[in-house]
Amino acid sequence: MGGLSVLFNIPSLEAQNQLTQTNNSLQNTLTELTTGSRINSGANDPAGLQIANLLNASVSALNQSVNNANNGTGFAQVAEGALSQVSTLLNTAVTLATEAANGGLSSAQSSALNTEFQSLLAEINNIGSNTNFNGTSVFTTASTYIFLTDLASSYTIAVAPGNLSASALGLSTGGANLTLTTTTNAETALAAINSAIISVGVSNGNIGAAIDQMQDAQNVETVESQNVTNALSTITSANIPQVVSNLNEYTILDQTGIYSLTEANAVPQNLLKLLQ
């Protein structure tokens, strides 16, 4: 141990250094307690911060993918509901065509059946052209692709309602709708209506499968988001009981450090007493 010196107050320097370290630790502890996070800057844990940033981005992508799947399901359900209504219209058309194909009807009766049939076809056209989701036409030749990702990988789910009109369903030829004005025409129309019912059923089945796929994807993405969030919490969350314990420790060390520094600074003054 060195002797006492008036040129250099080594105990004071040591006390200052230790007090600075204690203050830094105390400030970090207070920050952890305030934010609830153990990583509040890159200096706390550079590797942990990088991993946390990637996990944060992954959670954001997963949560938005869940929203994408939700929106896609809504889009598909709108299409499914519209097609269900078309199926109801086609079933009514079957009744009309079957009745019109029967002999013994007067001209007025055949005309009345045909008028109702034409109204059904017009309503099918209206459904096809006016069904929208979020301002976008549902029934088009283009598929709608639902994008899902967790950043590491991504994929799409296609929803393809297709075009919907009397023409697309084979209920018109050469730009003119089929009619029920004669028994022959009614029989022709009945066969076309049967094919249209099959076509609508296939479309509805495909849309239903897409809805199932999106709902499954939504469940998977939700669980993955929860798991990634849990991993993120493990990396970044402060251990509050330990932080409180550290706070008590550093608060005491700060107080004792100030006392020690005061005593160390008094040493040179004590040396002057030797000159008395």
User: E-assigned strands of the chain?
Assistant: 132-133, 136-137, 144-149, 154-159, 172-173, 176-177
Model pTM? 0.77
Instruction: Say which residue the tokens 């056209």 belong to.
Output: 125
What is the spatial distance between Cα 168 and Cα 184, in angstroms, rounded to a whole number? 22
CA distances (Å), origin 164, targets 1, 126, 128, 135: 96, 9, 5, 17
Cβ atoms of residues 49 and 42 within 8 Å: yes
Is the sign of the CA dihedral 236, 240, 242, 248 positive or negative? positive
Give the model's pLDDT for residue 180. Answer: 94
Q: Is 157 helix (H, G, I), strand (E, B) or coil?
A: strand
d(CA 249, CA 246): 5
The pLDDT assigned to 33 comes to: 78
Residue stretches of the chain with pLDDT short of 50: 1
Task: Determine the pLDDT at residue 158.
Answer: 95
Q: Which two tokens stand for residue 154?
A: 């991504």
Q: What tokens does 46 get?
A: 């550079």
Which DSSP helix (H) or strand (E) runs through 257? helix 240-265
Residue 193 tokens, joined? 């209506």
Q: pLDDT of 196-219, one tens digit each?
A: 999 999 999 999 999 999 999 999
Cβ neighbors of 19 (< 8 A, separation 6 or more) are 254, 257, 258, 260, 261
Q: Report the C-alpha gap between 48 and 235 in whole angstroms.
A: 7
Q: Residue 14: its pLDDT value, please? A: 80
pLDDT tens per residue across span 58-110: 999 999 999 999 999 999 999 999 999 999 999 999 999 999 999 888 999 99
Cα 31 from chain centroid? 32
What does the DSSP 8-state code read for residue 40? S
